[in-house]
């Protein structure tokens, strides 16, 4: 989850999972539960802290995801998401793709 070799990069968020990804699945040894997380690079830095609370975390960056092909509700059903967390830097909500999900 953490890539320390990316620490010297201009984009320090690359430390977390190697940078922004459209979609990421995280499995952990947590006893149960799953969560769909809608995030940007700011929210992506928070994902490692969730690993102890859910056995599966599905992370989606709406800046890179086509919500016209698949909605957030469809993603929740597809993965049987028990929880939904939206965690963004406030400026991300100015992105039309994020506002319209």
pLDDT digits (tens, 9 = 90+) for 31-56: 888 999 998 877 888 888 888 888 99
Strand ordering across the sheet containing 23-27: 23-27, 56-60, 34-39, 83-87
CA dihedral 22, 27, 18, 94 (to 10 degrees): 40
**Whats the size of the chain, residue-wise?**
101
pTM of the model: 0.70
Residues of the chain with pLDDT below 70 are 1-20, 91-93, 95-101
């Amino acid at each position: 989850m953490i890539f320390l070799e990316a620490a010297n990069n201009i984009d320090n968020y690359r430390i977390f999972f190697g940078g922004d990804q459209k979609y990421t699945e995280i499995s952990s040894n947590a006893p149960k539960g799953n969560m769909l997380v809608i995030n940007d690079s700011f929210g992506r830095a928070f994902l490692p802290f969730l690993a102890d609370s859910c056995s599966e975390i599905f992370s989606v960056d709406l800046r890179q995801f086509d919500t016209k092909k698949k909605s957030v509700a469809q993603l929740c059903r597809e993965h049987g998401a028990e929880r939904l967390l939206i965690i963004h830097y406030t400026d991300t909500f100015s992105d039309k793709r994020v506002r319209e999900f």
